[in-house]
Amino acid sequence: MQDELPEVTIRPAVVDDADAIAQVHVASWRQAYAGHVPQAQLDGLDTGSWSRSWRDRIAGRHGTILVAEDDGDVIGFVSYGASRDEDASPGTIEIYAIYLEPHAWGHGAAREMMRTLLGSLPDSGTVTLWALASNERARHFYRRHGFTPDGVERMEEIGGASVLEVRYRRG
């Protein structure tokens, strides 16, 4: 494992974080999904539209959004709330997104975001998330945090290509 980041702070997102969240989102997608989704989709990502979307989500209080800061700079975020899956039991939480600046990968910030999120939930709660079946790096991270595939899969379209997603569950 690489060196830990010196001072990672996890805190609730505020509207002024939207631009930084969008930049993290785009940079992470471009790195993490290269070879998994069409390159044209990654090349066409627009931080401006993602920033507007994140601003609306934060202002509208759509779920909970936490950011990871290193020396005052947003380097990651996690977004979660009530599960959107039709078969979810009441009270099931879904992690909608967890992304980190690629330069911060392997330094512990994503682990701290996940620990903070999981630590804020009831011990008896169920948490789910969706991961690209082909993204072994992400799937390994989720397994390290106690998530296991629950047998549910779906096909999603990203940039005109069909990709397989696997649902992970904890609790």
- Residue-wise pLDDT for 146-170, tens only, equals 999 999 999 999 988 999 999 999 9
pLDDT band with cut points at 50, 70 and 90 for residue 123 = confident
Q: What percent of the chain has pLDDT over 90?
A: 86
> Is CATH 3.40.630.30 the classification given to domain 8-125?
yes
Pairing relation of β-strands 93-100 and 73-82?
antiparallel
What letter would DSSP give residue 17?
A: G
Count Cβ atoms within 10 A of the Cβ of residue 23 and give its class: 0-12 exposed, 13-18 middle, 19 or more buried: middle
Q: What's the pLDDT tens digit per position in 62-89?
A: 889 999 999 999 999 999 999 999 999 9
pLDDT the model gives residue 64: 94
Q: Give the domain ranges of the chain.
A: 8-125
